[in-house]
Amino acid sequence: IVHRDLKPANVKITPQGKVKVLDFGLAKAIAGDPSSPDATQSPTITAAATQAGVVIGTAAYMSPEQARGRAVDRRSDIWAFGAVVYEMLTGKKAFEGETISDTLAAVLRAEVDWSALPPETPQSVRRVLKRCVDRDLKTRFHDVADARIAMDETPEAPAAVAATPPVSRNRSVLWPSVAAALLLLAGAGWWRALHSRPAGTTTPISFAVTLSGADRIPFDDMPVLDLSRDGTRLVFVGESEGHRRLYLRTRDRIEPRAIEGTDSASSPFFSPDGEWLGFFADGKLKKVSADGGVAMVLADAPNNRGGVWLADDSIVFAPDFTSGLSRVPARGGKSEVLTTPDAAGGERTHRWPTYVPGDDGAVLFTIGMLKGPGDYDDARIALWDPASRKVRVVFEGGSMARFAPPNHLVYMRAETLLVVPFDAKTRRVTGDAVGVNEKVSVDASSGVAYVAFASDGTFASVASAGGVDARSIVLTDRAGKPRSVSVPARPYHYPRFSPDGKRVAVTIGPGHGHSDDVWTIDLETGALTRLTIGEAKVGNYYPVWSNDGRRIAYSSDRAHQGIWFKSADGTGAEEALEPEAQPDLPADWSRDGSTLAITKNFPSTDVYLTSLADRKQTLFEPGASCPVFSPDGKWLAYVILAPGNPAQILVKPVAGEGGKVQITSDRGSFPVWTDRGLYFMADRRVFAVDVQTQPVFKAGPAQQLFEVSYDRGTVPSRNFDVTRDGQTFVFVTGAVSGELRQINVALGWTPELGRLTAPAR
C-alpha cells in the first residue's frame, strides 16, 4: 500500500492511546484556497493513482518525486514519515513556505534545519530521519522496516527523548507510538517487527531483502545463501539473464551489491570473522574478500556439495556428488580427505558440512543413503570428531542440519523445517523434534534447504515459491498469436516437439528433478501418455526425441543417475546410456541418429558429444550449454556465459575444423535450429536468424519475431521449442515454480526455537 498523503491530519490517537492512520489511498479533491499560508491544511492535490505526470499529496509532506509529478512508490511514504516525525520532535515543519508553491519549492531545494531537533534525540533517530528525507531515491530508505532496524542499532531508545520546548509533553510521550504506526503503514504489514516492544519481550524483528541487480535467486540443488556469524552480513546467489554471481547485503545498507570475482558462483559461506567468502565456481573451491576482488583457487571441487570455514582457518568441503568430506587450509595448500562414505553400510554421499560450537574443528554433516539417492528423509546427521577422526551419527531421518545457538539444531525432512534440542557441549540431541512455522524453499532431491543461522540469533531463509504449479500448453505462430492445447492444467516443463510436429514431450512435476516424469501430448486429440513411471521422490526430466520419433532420451536421478532411453510409445524396457552414474542432461539428437549432445557439470556446464555406437563421450566446448545440431549435423550452436558479460550464442563445426562464429551481437540464449533457420530468445523476445551451411557457413542478422510473457526457462533448461518447419512454437504458461525473489530475515529468532521445543506443562 502506498498512502501518498501521510500528514498529521491523517494520524489520530484514540482515548485508549491507540494510534491510527486514516484515509488510505483516498484520491478525493477537497476545496480550499490554493494560496493558504498553512501548508498543513492545504488541499490534498489528487489524480489517478501513482501515474507519472500528475501531482498528488499535501504540499508540506510531499516527496520531491510527488512534487515533480513523477510516479511514486513506498519511498514517498517514507519521506512523509520522516517529515511527520521531524515535526513531532521539533514542533515545526521540515518544509514550509508562505504559499503552497513556496512549500513545494522548499521540498525540492531547501535544507532541513537539523539543529532544531532536541539535544536528547538519539543519534540513531537523527540518522534515520536524514535517510527518510533524502532526495536521492537510491540512498533513501527503500523499506521502512530497515528504519526500525537502524533505530535499534544503538542502545539509546527513542522513548527516552526528553520533553523540550517547543514540543509538548504529550508529543514527546506519544511520538514513538505514532512513529511505529507510520512504520507499520509504510512497511506494508510488519507490525510484529516494527511495534515498540517492552523490554524483555522476545518478539523477533523481521524484514525482507528483495533483489536488486539480480532477476532471481536460482533454484539450485545447492545452498544459495549464508549469514556471517555476527548476523550483520548476508550473502546470496543472484542470477540475471542466466549469469550468476554473489550478492552481499549488509545491515547498514538497503541495496544488495554484486561481489566482484564471483561469476558462476554457488554454495557461498562466510569466514568466521565475516571478512572473507568461500564459494564454488568452475569446478573449483575458491575464496574472495567480502568486498570483492580476485578470487583465489583453493582446491578441485567438480560437483560441490557445500563447505564450511572453521575457526582454525581451514575449510571443510564436499567436492563431489558421492564423495566424502575434505579439508584444505584457507590460505591455500594441499587438501586432505576426512571422511569416506561407507558403501557396505549403505552410505552414498557426505554433504552439507557446517560448524558446531568449539574450536576443535568438529563438523556436522549429512549422510545420504544408497537406497534413495533422491530421498533425504532417511538420511543421517553425523558428526566428524577431529580427536578420534571418526564419524558418529547424531540422529537419523533428516538432512542439512544447521546449528542454531545456543542449543538447537534445525534441519529438513519431508520438505519441512524442523528443530530439535541439542547440547552444544556433549553434541547430542536432548529432546524431540518439532516443526518450525516457516515456509522456506527446499530442494528435497539433494537434501538442501535455503536457510542460514548466525550466532546472534539471526535467521535467514528464501521465501517458499509455493506448491506445484497448474500450467497450460500454448502454441503460437511466427507472429506470436497463441492458441491453447486441450490438455488439463498440470505443472508442465521443458516441452519438445516430435520430428513430425504432431506430439510434444514434456516433463510433468515440480520441474527441478524431484518426482518428475516424462509424458507425451498428442496435439490433435489432447491425449496425455505417461512415458516414465518413476519411484517415489525419483525424477525423470529433460526429454529429447530421436530423429525418427521412435525413442526419447531423458535424464533421471534414480540410483543409477544419468541419461536413459525409452520407446516413445511407453512400451519396452528402459536403457541406460552410461555404465556409471553421471548427472548429465540430454540436449539434442543429431538427425542421422549417431550422436547425442549433452551437458555435464550443471550448473557450470560443459558440452559433450556422445557417440551412440560405442557410447564414447568427447568434450566439445567447455563452459557452454544448450547445444543444438544443424539439420545437416555438421554444426553445433550453443550458449556461452562469459564472466561479466551477457549470454551469447556461438556456432562451431562438429568436426572441429574451422573457427567459431558468434550469432548474437547483444545477447541471446536457448537456440533451436530448424530447417528454416536458427531461433533464440533474448529477454522475453523471440528472434530468428537465416543460416546457410553450404558451401560455406553464413548467418544473416537477427530479426525479432514477437514478445512473450511465458516462462522461458533458466540456462540450460529451455522451456519452449519450435517445429522443424519453423512455423509453430510451443510454450508453457502459468506460475513459475522456483521463481525466488525474496529473502526473509528475522533478528532475535532463537528464543522462538526455545518456545517451540519447551516441554509441555
Q: Which amino acid is at 40?
A: T
Q: Read off the pLDDT band of 335 (50, 70, 90).
A: very high
Residue 28 burial by Cβ neighbours in a 10 Å radius (0-12, 13-18, 19+)? exposed
Spatial distance between the Cα atoms of 580 and 589, rounded to a whole number of angstroms: 21
CA atoms within 13 A on the CB side of 411: 32
Q: Read off the pLDDT band of 292 (50, 70, 90).
A: very high
Q: Please report the pLDDT score of residue 53 as a whole number.
A: 41
Q: Please report the pLDDT score of residue 469 as a whole number.
A: 58
Q: Please report the pLDDT score of residue 56 as a whole number.
A: 59
pLDDT at 31 over 50: no
Q: Please report the pLDDT score of residue 559 as a whole number.
A: 64
In what side-by-side order are the strands of the sheet with 296-300? Answer: 266-270, 276-281, 284-289, 296-300
Q: Please report the pLDDT score of residue 110 as a whole number.
A: 86
pLDDT at 220 over 60: yes
Q: Read off the pLDDT band of 739 (50, 70, 90).
A: low
Q: Please report the pLDDT score of residue 536 as a whole number.
A: 57
Express each pLDDT in 564-598 by its tens digit.
Answer: 999 998 888 889 888 777 778 999 999 999 999 99
Dihedral sign, CA of 94, 99, 100, 103? negative
Neighbouring C-beta atoms of residue 282, cutoff 10 Å: 17
Q: Please report the pLDDT score of residue 560 as a whole number.
A: 65
Owner of C-alpha cell 512508490: 73
Q: What is the mean pLDDT of residues 435-457?
A: 85
Q: How far is CA 250 from the centre of its chain?
A: 17
Lowest-pLDDT choice from 175-189, 262-276, 619-633 = 175-189
Lowest-pLDDT choice from 95-99, 166-170, 265-269, 670-674 = 166-170
Q: State what percent of residues in the chain have pLDDT above 70.
A: 83
Residue 198 burial by Cβ neighbours in a 10 Å radius (0-12, 13-18, 19+)? exposed
pLDDT at 534 over 70: no
pLDDT at 638 over 60: yes
Q: Read off the pLDDT band of 511 (50, 70, 90).
A: low
Tell me the average pLDDT of the chain: 83
Spatial distance between the Cα atoms of 563 and 557, rounded to a whole number of angstroms: 9
Neighbouring C-beta atoms of residue 415, cutoff 10 Å: 16
Q: State what percent of residues in the chain have pLDDT above 90.
A: 44
